Structure 1
């Protein structure tokens, strides 16, 4: 916190609400890059190694995404203050060109002396998370890995942290989480606002898009594509096993928009990053790697990522809700976190519909996870320690939910009916009724975290299950309760 406050004082008076308000705006607007794909245009996986990896990812169910970069020094919304779009608000009195110069100098203040990725991995593992997505490079182009393609990187001599044995931050993070058994995902922005062949210094930068017609200047775009492919090659050869390549900046794609209006979020020309070539590099180096070309339908969007939202119903393709634990993807000193109850219920609701939850937390500029974020992870972990077997490795089962129940199915055929506790509901009711699912003859019913089997009978309104007082006392205070049915009627 002190490092961030010092940087604020040095650079400009942002004001208390600046970072938090920008973060909320960024979380809302960044997902509106262009028209989202529909279920009809999802391309199923055919590569058997990718299918196997995607099945593993589906079993993980719960992951952590970490947005960390030089923007964290100020506690502002990722890279977005560099972007000249009308929803972006920079500090009062600071012009765009001056702000861009100041922003890029943040690298000279990035010195996370308390960075210990093993502590991050332990907190995430205890929360019941099973995979990680880490920002190797956001749209600003600052690389959190030791790339040979640019000096705009965390290991450069002008970055104070470059002398640390953990200076190659992406490698340190991946190694620490891999040691805890995590699946490893590399977030990588296809846009790069620092690269002179994406935002050329010859022209202004009116939007997030590249700022020249690639048809008129193909040599510039070719250099940028080669640069991007070289970085993908580095990440997939020098950083151990990578399970997911999580590609952001969906506006960088092979689609043209001939009717694009000036200063809109589209440009007439295609920003073709050569995804077939990129995929060939990634899968040559990491056979079976899952590619997530976000919001670009086609063979390289192996699963889809609804952002900050939970679909109303199950989706006909693999999917993952990416959602912030607070209001911001990156660290904001005034962020407000969702309650443990909301987070657990969100996780249950997503998994019941067949999706994964990728929960976002922004590390502080000193390298620590925020105390409130750690509190939320600890609370989720306490619930997952009892109920995690109803989440990990589960599958959706119709009708997915009923009243306060949400349903998941284990690979052994058992069904979990997860009761979402209402606000102020500190223990489950003495009697509950299931209308949608019928236990099979001889099925055993129990509540996870409580001793003994439960009695049940067929009533006029459904299956009636009695919870004795001793069971209810054992479950008191939980955010949700899991009734496990060993088998249900088909």
Structure 2
């Protein structure tokens, strides 16, 4: 069953298209400031392995998919583009909250098939997955024992399905396909009486009381958070990444007042990350912890959102970007073409980052057909050109006009990706192509991946490649050509 307000979904879809740029802008911050590399050798090893993977899948999914809205954000009493409420209860905040929480009683994603997702992501060349086990609304997509606001509670129709514990199903299916496993978890919980205490109305995204004035209540919330994370670390097999969102829950001393949204934090919201991290790694040795936007020991890599840094970063990083216009499911969403996904992947990798591409499952438990189509096209390109993506690092130069460079971490091979025009999938190679030598290293062989070796000549720090006519318009030249330079 699905709640269907008249014109609700169309209005939300149009609204989301208009507000996405503001969502991206609101998250901007200096992602490199205060970064501390991990000292634990197991974490260092896991981090290096993660940097080799380059391409991952993100999934935002919850009861909110039934309304096709911006995840939990309409519950937040802030006057922002992405918090606007729609539907018959929009004019009364408390009626709206009640209707939103009642979505639990209609959530029944009977088409849920995590193996289908894992197979599609693997074919696309993705190597890790991050799934929203709990967003800010507090609805757990796993079988938590700390709350009955969860997918496995009898109030949720899907609870009687053998696949009801969707987090376990997703982690198991993707792990079987060789993926590293990431658990997204929201530190704030707007359903918890110990975060938004019913004694006070919520004022904004932050805790609605002063934790220093009511320390026992805040201690209860800290323990609730700790216990839920411990469940994820003990009951769901090997977990490689704990991806913590909701950066306003942080020690007050870490606030960056140059960032607009951080200036709204008025009280101490320290949940004792040292205690959480120690517990989590006792169960999951080498676990990467991503305490987003909170610099220090518990942000093992940084996560620019809906943006790609314009220059290489010298720290581990990951751009998280949406395939559609929204993080979560929106009816008739517009999905980026495969060309744009591939060009973005190349730019991210040339600058030393990973690409976490988000797809929002629908209320029926499946992706839109367009999402599968995009992944199929990306996968066909990756099958030919992936060796220039995986296990690579930055090299100088990282870019030259429409050419972007990567270098295998062992230094033996470099790759130059020549991108198609932004409005064309097809690529016609020139008869000759001059490339700056990556890292200044001489070249002993040149190969266009999927097409074979090509002749070349050296000119000081330039390699001039001669491309035969029979290879300039080849059927394999879609989106971008990868030119392998062996040193």
Residue 22 (structure 1) shift: 3.6
Output the CA distance in 1 between the equivalents of 2:427 and 2:369: 25
Instruction: Note closer, same or farther for the CA distance 1:78–1:473 as it changes in structure 2 (3 Å cut).
Output: same
Hey, what does 2:416 align to over in structure 1?
417
Hey, what does 2:427 align to over in structure 1?
426
Residue 475 (structure 1) shift: 4.5
Given that 2:413 and 2:486 are in contact with CA atoms closer than 8 Å, whether structure 1 keeps it comes out as yes
Hey, what does 2:168 align to over in structure 1?
171
- Which of 82, 86, 90 is 1:91 aligned to? 86
Hey, what does 2:120 align to over in structure 1?
123
Hey, what does 2:458 align to over in structure 1?
458
Pairing 1:138–2:132 present:
no
Hey, what does 1:384 align to over in structure 2?
382
Counterpart mapping for 1:144-163 below 5 A: 144-163=141-160
Counterpart mapping for 1:224-243 below 5 A: 224-243=221-240
Structure 2 portions without partners, runs of 5+ = none
Instruction: Note closer, same or farther for the CA distance 1:381–1:144 as it changes in structure 2 (3 Å cut).
Output: same
Output the CA distance in 1 between the equivalents of 2:172 and 2:54: 21
Hey, what does 1:474 align to over in structure 2?
474
Hey, what does 1:8 align to over in structure 2?
4
Residue 268 (structure 1) shift: 2.3
Q: Which runs of 4+ in 1 moved over 4 A?
A: 256-260, 438-442
Output the CA distance in 1 between the equivalents of 2:294 and 2:304: 12
TM-score when scaled to structure 2?
Answer: 0.93
Structure 1 portions without partners, runs of 5+ = none
SS of the aligned residue for 2:450 comes to: coil
Pairing 1:188–2:189 present:
no
SS of the aligned residue for 2:329 comes to: coil
SS of the aligned residue for 2:252 comes to: coil
Pairing 1:102–2:103 present:
no
Pairing 1:68–2:89 present:
no
Instruction: Note closer, same or farther for the CA distance 1:433–1:267 as it changes in structure 2 (3 Å cut).
Output: closer
Pairing 1:346–2:344 present:
yes
Hey, what does 2:210 align to over in structure 1?
213
Hey, what does 1:407 align to over in structure 2?
405
Hey, what does 1:282 align to over in structure 2?
280
SS of the aligned residue for 2:10 comes to: coil
Instruction: Note closer, same or farther for the CA distance 1:206–1:156 as it changes in structure 2 (3 Å cut).
Output: same
Output the CA distance in 1 between the equivalents of 2:415 and 2:262: 47
Counterpart mapping for 1:220-299 below 5 A: 220-255=217-252, 266-299=264-297
Hey, what does 1:36 align to over in structure 2?
29
Alignment coverage as a number of residue pairs: 477
Residue 92 (structure 1) shift: 5.6
Residue 316 (structure 1) shift: 2.2
Instruction: Note closer, same or farther for the CA distance 1:195–1:387 as it changes in structure 2 (3 Å cut).
Output: same
Pairing 1:25–2:19 present:
yes
Question: What root-mean-square deviation, in Å, do the aligned CA atoms of Structure 1 and Structure 2 show?
Answer: 2.2
Output the CA distance in 1 between the equivalents of 2:171 and 2:124: 18
1:6-61 deviation digits (Å, cap 9, x = unpaired): 4123xx6525132452476367437736x734534111111000000000100010
Given that 1:446 and 1:485 are in contact with CA atoms closer than 8 Å, whether structure 2 keeps it comes out as yes
Residue 474 (structure 1) shift: 3.1
